Chain A
Amino acid sequence: MSLLSPIICDNGTGYSKVGFAGNSDPSFVFPTAIATRGPASQPSRSGPAVPSKPGHLASKRGVEDLDFFIGDEALANAKTPGYGVSYPIRHGQIDNWDYMERYWEQTIFKYLRAEPEDHYFLLVRDQHCSTGLPDNLSVQTEPPLNPPENREQTAEIFFESFNIQGLYIAVQAVLALAASWSSNRVVDRTLTGTVIDSGDGVTHVIPCAEGYVIGSSIKHIPIAGRDLSQFVLNLMRERGEMVNVPPEDQLKIAGKVKENYTYVCQDIVKEFRKYDAEPYKYFERYDGEHSVTGRKYSVDVGYERFLAPEIFFNPEIYSSDFLTPLPEIVDGVIQGSPIDVRRGLYKNIVLSGGSTMFQHFGQRLKRDLKQIVDRRLEASAVSSGSVQKSSGVDVDVISHKRQRYAVWFGGSLLASLPEFYSSCHTKAQYDEVGPSIVRRYQIFGTAT
């Protein structure tokens, strides 16, 4: 049954994207949330129930190992007495392995309806976990907080609990680069470029050279989708829009407003003037319904339409402790990378994740970054007193159709290549070597 397509799982802080290789979209996108019996806040205080006496397990234990919900169903059951909701991933990292294992269990059996023993799997690893360098190098460059055991635990679960046929743990940024091959502006299938992945919990800026992440210059920005929603909520509350919205729905409404009405402007002062001159043209109306009573309400959507994503470019309007604009960070990351790859990094800046979906986001980033680069070139020309003008540096930001689920889509592409199978660790290899096998990492799929 090896004909069955590999399964691709990208479990994010906010949403999990899961489906089969070869498709252009994941089969399921649902919250990375699980509802289990008992209070959610102290999951392991007392540990899972232990049968009082050995012997007749079924009668003592009941079915709590099967009694839980994941994804949208988990949220729907949040108010059911007896269940508590937990989020097993925090800031892109697995926080609770017990919940994560059960989350995968139900993803595979209930939603994908696949027998894991019949499939190969491609899982996505967060940048934190490793630099993606070959093993001998990565041992030293691993950030201290992120031991390789993360990958090993994952392998243990998939090979030992689920008995899968083979496993490939992919690097998020590399998949995002592969996803951009679908854009017609990308002519060569290169794995050199700078990835900007912005999801729900964190924004990463990751330089890659030929499929290897340049670990020492990665930057994480503590501003992502969740903060944008919060910011929209703050703005709307200040204007008094939220008085008719039940408190428990407010953040959700702010999120919807963010996803449906916002865009990146090119000049914030001009934008304010436009709104003030013609409010009826630019203000929008959002209609909602009370989730319990069914009462209808509507709210006005105003300046937040362009202010929300503006916090990437002017973080001071939202945060007081993180103040560097995204274009400056990107420039810093590239300048911090080896000199011979910098051109490639400026030329291929690839967007990925839900929070890069704003209209004109790429355009603005490109403009701001280009300004920084040109200014530096000019300054160095002046200081060296050279009359020869530099030929300039190409800056290009790639937006593409598959950007929303870019990481998943990149996985789907790579796992449909014939080399995928030989790049995986198989069950037999795992049984022989043990979990440490996943420290070996193989790149494949580039044009060269």
Chain B
Amino acid sequence: MILLEPHNYIIQTTLAEKFTKPSSLDVQFVDFDGVRFHLSTPERKSALLLSMHIRCWDELVRYGAQEVLQREYGPLVQAQPEPEYNVSLVIDLDTAPPEGEERDNFVKSIALLKRNALAAPFELAFTKQKELESAGDGQGELTAIHYRDEEAIYIRAAHDRVTVIFSTVFREETDRIFGKVFLQEFVDARRLPTIQNAPQVLYTNRDPPLEIRHVPGLRDSEDIGYVTFVLFPRHFNNPTVAAGTISHIELFRDYLHYHIKCSKAYMQSRMRHRVAEFQKVLNRAKTEAATSTERKTVTGRTLHTR
């Protein structure tokens, strides 16, 4: 596995299991960016209630999350979500699609609940861009999604592009350095001819990019970084491509932090290897010293250990 996948494994595996063997259930789990899920069978074994809490729900609703979820899940969406959660779906095992590809796709679509909710502001920006393009000029409103306590996504449509900016916090000095190197590589890699079509990426540390510099309350400290993606119509003209773009961009922050952690582990492996090599050398030196001394008594006889 190299990329993180957009869907939630626990939802996917639990649903698949319950389809074959319905039983009562009550589990809580999470997803990236502070999302909390509750999956339970409050009424009967074959009716699963899946509820999600997401930090930036109010913002998402403002940018059309309800409509997106209605479109994706239709009647599954409950008018009244479970208390303490923002959205609830009821999955009835008895009326769901029959076994096979259809059911797998259904299960997968449920596992994409977080992805779909978070997709709303992106979809909105893509639509806005189309409008502005036909108008020939202008800029959309700057939308801000505060998806984590100290981190946000900013999206703005223009007549020829959609700009997406992530702010991210590096808790550790080492992470910041790795992050910088990694993002620099990202910027450089785009120069390779094979991936010239990828969106343009810019990275700045500490100073917010021009597009959001006027936003009040931005933190001004060393541990913050900004990643800017510039999406052109070719990245979202076709619905399938647009969906892929959204899935990747949504997870970018988590992928970045995952990659940093993997790189640290990789460095540590190399260091452990080095240490082990040195230790071997040292051990060799030690045994030679111990065996080469022959001990003798005063009278010249050799001592043997028994």
Contacts and interface: CB of A to CB of B under 8 A. Distances in A.
Contact of B261 (A5, A28, A105): A105
B249 interface: no
A249 interface: no
Interface string B194-212: 0000000000000000000
B268 A101 contact: yes
A48 B265 contact: no
Most A CB contacts (10 A, CB to CB) among B1, B174, B262, B272 go to B262
Contacts of A105: 258, 261-262, 265
B266 A48 contact: yes
B62 interface: no
Contact of B4 (A20, A24, A68, A109): A109
B2 A97 contact: no
A315 interface: no
Interface string B23-55: 000111111111010000000000000000001
A57 B273 contact: no
B127 interface: no
B266 A65 contact: yes
A161 interface: yes
Contacts of A161: 261, 264-265, 268
B277 to A, nearest CB: 8
Interface stretch (A113-121, A263-271, A356-364): A113-121
A3 B2 contact: no
Given A48-B269, A98-B269, A110-B1, A65 B263 contact: yes
Contact of A109 (B13, B149, B258, B272): B258
B175 to A, nearest CB: 7
Contacts, number: 121
A441 B57 CA distance: 40
A23 interface: yes
B171 A48 contact: no
A112 interface: yes
Interface in B153-205: 171-172, 174-175, 181, 185, 188-189
Nearest to B181: A57
B125 to A, nearest CB: 25
Nearest to B9: A111
A44 B254 contact: no
Interface string A228-267: 0000000000000000000000000000000000000000
Nearest to A427: B171
A67 interface: yes
B30 A48 contact: no
A56 interface: yes
Nearest to A20: B29
A186 B276 CA distance: 49
A162 interface: yes
B259 to A, nearest CB: 7
A392 interface: no
A201 B53 CA distance: 41
A66 B29 contact: no
Nearest to A69: B1
Nearest to B169: A117
B270 interface: yes
Interface residues of A, number: 48
B146 interface: no
Interface string A17-48: 00110111101100000000000000010011
A113 B148 contact: no
A163 interface: yes
A1 interface: yes
Interface in A50-66: 50, 56-58, 63-66
A139 interface: no
A47 B265 contact: no
A20 B30 contact: yes
A114 B4 CA distance: 12
B265 A65 contact: yes
A66 B259 contact: yes
A102 B263 CA distance: 10
Contacts of B257: 115, 117
Nearest to A7: B30
Contact of A1 (B29, B149, B265): B149
Contacts of B189: 58
Given A57-B181, A58-B189, A114 B262 contact: no
Given A4-B34, A109-B254, A66 B261 contact: no
A115 B270 contact: no
Contacts of B28: 5, 20, 22-23
A115 B10 contact: no
A141 interface: no
Contacts of A57: 181, 185
A138 interface: no
Nearest to A5: B28
A113 B181 contact: no
Given A1-B148, A57-B185, A163 B172 contact: yes
A47 B27 contact: no
Given A66-B262, A106-B1, A113-B32, A56 B273 contact: no
A101 B264 CA distance: 10
B30 to A, nearest CB: 5
Most B CB contacts (10 A, CB to CB) among A5, A19, A50, A65 go to A65
B266 A115 contact: no
A98 B148 CA distance: 31
A16 B284 CA distance: 37
Interface string B270-297: 1011101100000000000000000000
B30 A5 contact: yes
A20 B264 CA distance: 25
B66 interface: no
Contacts of A20: 27-30
Contacts of A114: 30-32
B273 A47 contact: yes
A142 to B, nearest CB: 21
B34 A118 contact: yes
B8 interface: yes
Given A23-B27, A98-B265, 10 more contacts: A20-B28, A28-B9, A44-B273, A98-B269, A105-B261, A109-B4, A109-B258, A115-B254, A117-B257, A161-B265
26 contacts: A1-B55, A5-B30, A19-B29, A20-B27, A23-B29, A25-B27, A28-B9, A44-B273, A44-B276, A47-B274, A47-B277, A56-B185, A57-B185, A66-B1, A66-B262, A68-B1, A73-B1, A98-B272, A101-B265, A105-B258, A109-B254, A111-B10, A113-B31, A113-B32, A117-B257, A162-B261
Interface of A: 1, 3-5, 19-20, 22-25, 27-28, 44, 47-48, 50, 56-58, 63-69, 73, 97-98, 101-102, 105-106, 109-118, 157, 160-163
